[in-house]
Amino acid sequence: MTALFTLMPEAVGTIAAESKQIILDRLAQRFASVYGLDPVTVLERLEEREKLGSTGFGRGVAIPHARISDLGRPVAVFLRLETPVAFEAADGMPVDMVFGLLSPEAAGAAHLHALAAISRMMRDDKMHAALGETTNAEALYALLANSIDRDAA
Q: Which residues belong to the active site? A: 65
How far, in Å, CA of 55 to CA of 89, rounded? 7
